[in-house]
Amino acid sequence: MGDKNSIKSKGKMEQRKNIALMKSLDKAKNRKKIPKSEYVTEMKNKDNILEIDNLATYFFTDSGVVKAVNGVSFDIPRGKTVAVVGESGCGKSITSMSIMRLIQGPSGQIVDGQIRYNSEEGPINLVNVPISKMQELRGNKISMIFQEPMTSLNPVFTVGDQIDEAIQLHNPKLTAKQIKTRSIEMLELVGIARPEGIYDAYPHELSGGMRQRVMIGMALSCEPELIIADEPTTALDVTIQAQILELLREIKDKVNASILLITHDLGVVAEMADYVVVMYAGRIIEKGTAIDIYKNPQHPYTIGLLNSKPAVGKVVDKLYSIPGQVPNPINMPSHCYFKDRCEKSFEPCGAIYFKLRIFANTFR
């Protein structure tokens, strides 16, 4: 009995501590004036457009703390494509929303780490910048393409109105005529035939693939340095998927942007990415060049993901899928989160969570 009560009161204390942490983070974030010294920083490597360093984003819920992103670090070099892959729920979207500072407070908070952005005026840590600064960057220097374009396009305005608005916001000096010309150029750039017609159309009059093209056009209209594409083709059928990816790749080279491509589909990554980051339960379990990951994967989870992807010319009776489920995000074990699903699991896996290791024998 006594034990039970002491566990209960310990839980209560823990809960109080968490609420206090959540409140203090929220207060710090919403301060009116944030001194520059709090967010001016240095890049580790000036060739990177973004450096994510030990990022932790938690949700403080009534039933406990969800460590959605739990110590994630990776770099995005300028002009390159970095793919983040992993099963649903592993923290991919929360990572991208942390970069954009779109995590819903007060329950959602970035609790630790840095997101260093190599801006024109010098490196800044996005975790600490004032929201007003972030609003300047969003949809301007850093653009995001979401999974479902219908939810991001406004149904009551024409496609043209919406692209015009995006362009006008970032180029207040242009005349209405110049803006329209630019919008039509954008529609052309994303491969829309008959752009003048589509300019006057409403979103619901377009197919899913066309809408996604429009979204990409809007995201690119301001010539961003970094494009974050969160499952940009998941809602589309396979042939359209390939076209959209091809389009993203072409455009990236035209505007010399970097892409953060988020997907649960390793097949999508093969053609697109220079670097691959594999996430599992809020952590990175493997990262490397795309060639490393495809030719010489090291982690059993990565190998499992690769095996669960259909291959052309390979006859299989049944697609492989990794058995078991991701552990409950509240109360994660202190040992490897993949242990109970892993074919290679052995005694040391039950010990304290391991750190990432560099393998010297990876394919170059």
Ligand X SMILES: Nc1ncnc2c1ncn2[C@@H]1O[C@H](COP(=O)(O)OP(=O)(O)O)[C@@H](O)[C@H]1O
- Name the site residues for ligand X (rule: CB under 6 A): 59, 61, 66, 68, 86, 88-94, 104, 108, 329
In angstroms, what is the minimal distance from the CB of 351 to Mg ion? 31
The item of Mg ion, ligand X, none sharing an interface with residue 71, based on CB under 5 to 8 Å by kind, is none
Q: How far is the CB of 181 from ligand X (least distance, A)?
A: 37
Residue with smaller CB distance to ligand X, 164 or 231:
231
183 belongs to the binding site for Mg ion (CB under 5 A): no
Q: How far is the CB of 89 from ligand X (least distance, A)?
A: 4
Give SS3 for 176: helix
Instruction: Name which of ligand X, Mg ion, none residue 61 binds, using a CB cut-off of 5 to 8 Å depending on partner kind.
Output: ligand X
Q: Which lies closer to ligand X via its Cβ, residue 7 or residue 19?
A: 19
Nearest to 47 by CA among 118, 105, 107: 118
Q: Which is nearer to ligand X, 164 or 230 (CB)?
A: 230
Q: Of these partners, Mg ion, ligand X, none, which one is at the site of residue 232 (CB under 5 to 8 Å by kind)?
A: none
Interacting partner of 48 out of ligand X, Mg ion, none (Cβ under 5 to 8 A depending on kind): none
Closer by beta carbon to Mg ion, 93 or else 212: 93
Q: How many residues does the chain have?
A: 364
- Sign, CA dihedral 253-255-258-260, equals negative
SS3 content of the chain, % helix, strand, coil (to 5): 40, 20, 40
Which does residue 209 touch among ligand X, Mg ion, none (CB within 5 to 8 A, set by kind)?
none
For Mg ion, the closer CB: 41 or 263: 263
- In the sheet with 142-145, reading across from the earlier edge strand, the strands are 142-145, 226-230, 258-263, 81-85, 275-280, 283-289
**CB 261 → ligand X: shortest distance, Å?**
13
Residue 346 CA: distances (Å) to CA of 35, 76, 342 = 50, 34, 9
Cβ 229 to Mg ion shortest distance, Å: 12
Least Cβ distance, residue 263 to Mg ion (angstroms): 9
Burial (CB count within 10 angstroms: exposed 0-12, middle 13-18, buried 19+), residue 334: exposed
Give me the least distance between CB of 56 and ligand X, in Å please: 12
What letter does residue 286 receive in the DSSP assignment? E
Burial of 101 (0-12, 13-18, 19+ CB in 10 A): buried
Residues contacting residue 100 through CB under 8 Å, at least 6 positions apart:
134, 138, 142, 144, 228
The SS3 assignment for 151 reads helix
Residue numbers 68-97 binding Mg ion by CB under 5 A: 93
Q: Residue 6 or 325: which CB sits closer to ligand X? A: 325
Task: Give me 290's structure tokens.
Answer: 């795309």
User: By the criterion CB under 5 A, which residues form the site for Mg ion?
Assistant: 93
